[in-house]
Amino acid sequence: MTARGDAWRLRAVTAVNRFRALDGGAEGAYAYASMAEACGRLYGWTHSYVTAYLAKVYALQNPDGGWGINRSYDAFADGSVNDEDTTYTVTLADHVGIPFLNGFQAGAVPRDRVQGIVDRLLAMPRVLVERGQCVAYSTRPVDCQPGYEVHNVSAGVAYFLHRANAAGFGGTGMHRLITDITIHQSNAYRTGDIWWPYIDDGPNQDPDHQSYSAQSMYPLEYWVGREAIYKLMTNSWPDDPLSPLAHMRLVSTPGGVGSWSRRYGSPITLWGELGDQWLPEADQFIANPPADVQTRLAQAALFCARNASVQ
Q: Where are the domains of the chain?
A: 3-307
pLDDT value of residue 69? 96
Closest to 305 in 3D by CA, of 113, 56, 92, 103 = 103
Distances (CA, A) of 190 to 10, 128, 182, 198: 37, 20, 14, 12
Quote the pLDDT of residue 310: 87
CATH 1.50.10.20 for domain 3-307, yes or no, is yes
Report the predicted TM-score, pTM, of the whole model to 2 decimal places.
0.97
The whole-number pLDDT of residue 139 equals 97
Q: Which residues, 6 or more positions from 299, have their beta carbon under 8 angstroms from its beta carbon?
A: 30, 34, 245, 248
Q: Could you state, in chain order, the average pLDDT of each consecutive group of 10 residues for the chain (311 residues)?
A: 94 98 97 98 98 98 97 94 97 98 98 98 96 97 94 98 98 98 98 98 98 98 98 98 98 97 94 98 98 97 96 77
**Helices of type H across 80-173:** 89-90, 97-105, 111-123, 151-166
- The pLDDT score that the predictor gives to residue 173 is 97
User: If DSSP codes are grouped into helix, strand and coil, which group holds residue 254?
Assistant: coil
In the DSSP assignment, the letter for residue 134 is E
The amino acid at 77: A
Looking at residue 311, its pLDDT comes to 77
* Cα–Cα distance for residue pair 273/292, rounded to 1 Å: 30
